[in-house]
Structure 1
Amino acid sequence: GTDNPLVFASEEAVLSGGNFHGEPLALALDTAAIGLSELGSISERRLFRMLTGFLSELPPFLTRHSGLDSGYMLLQYTAAALVTDNQLLAMPASVHSLPTSADQEDHNSMGWHSAQRGRQVASNVEAILALEALGAAQGIDLLSPLRPGKLTAQAHAAIREQVPPLDHDRVLQPEIEAAIDLVRRGTLATVGSKARPA
């Protein structure tokens, strides 16, 4: 088993004895996936509020042609699907175990599964944040002539360099992919980092 600790009773010390056991890493990875999942859930809730006219006081689904155009309605559907996926992926893998190697390895951390799930959760959260960014940019456009703050305006400009405003329904997949790329490259985070003192 587990970590084969060395116990020094006279010194009241317990040290890891090698024979590496991945449980500490698996627990950390599971915890990270749970935290990231919550981040995605909060982002989806903000997007939902933006798209819901009676909550945001913006046009429903961020379109001036409600009833004729769907606007950004499907952004929230997509975000909700990713949040649901994350809720399942964030279930801790480290609480499971299955003996291997003729029971020599009698307790396994399932850390590999924790890492795989965590990577997918992170990817899903990047997509959710990108969907929120698209909605936020459209909301800013609809609030014109009101102007956002300096950093928000910079983030808006970065999005608009890749994605034009949505005037009428169109296929959004290329624009969603462009927004995800902005998040993955750190473009929007770089804008936000300018607000922090060096």
Structure 2
Amino acid sequence: MRSSKPWSELEKQQLNELIIQNTTNNRINWQKVASVLNNRSPVQCKLQYRNVLNKKREKVNVEWTEYQEVQLTVLTMMYGTKWNFIQQNYYPLMKPEQLQLKHHQINTMYVQYEEMCKNPDKYTVLNNKQIKVLEYSLRRIDLIKKKLEFLAENKPGITTLDPLELQFYKMAITEEYVAELLENEKTINKLLQQQKQ
């Protein structure tokens, strides 16, 4: 029996994830999506997506997961700014403009993060934006450290890396990079601690 109840937030989130997993060449397999959402028909899923979720997605500022941000960084390192190619092959539910904007935001924050880590003495008092950049950078560092630990253990686990990410980590992560990352982590923690005093 198909549900006629309004969609819960959990169902909407599941629908979003299922759409991403079941999209090939910009086509969504609604049968597969609905088969996982037992109480919703393919038509209900399609209508919810078209009338509600896709309208939200059309806004340029969408919520990005940290995984998606890291993935976008890796893709731009590999393919440059070929937004249409990246969108078609990796982010079929987003627009190229959204990818370009997110890439710009990530780069802007990275430049600010680098500046604050290289010259921490200049930043005795931080504004809210600078604090957000540092907190964001700490989360990214933590994510990278977890993935490096996962790779070092070399055993299957809950967190798996897709081939693209694995290639990036094997190519780009050197001992110097890890040392700099850990040093930056200390600097960020020190800067944030100063703000609390």
Q: Considering Cα pairs closer than 8 Å and 6+ residues apart, tell me whether 1 or 2 has the greater RCO.
A: 1
The reply to whether TM is greater than 0.5 is no
Band of TM-score, shorter chain: under 0.3
User: Which structure: greater helix fraction?
Assistant: 2
Task: With the length of structure 1 as denominator, give the TM-score of the two structures.
Answer: 0.24
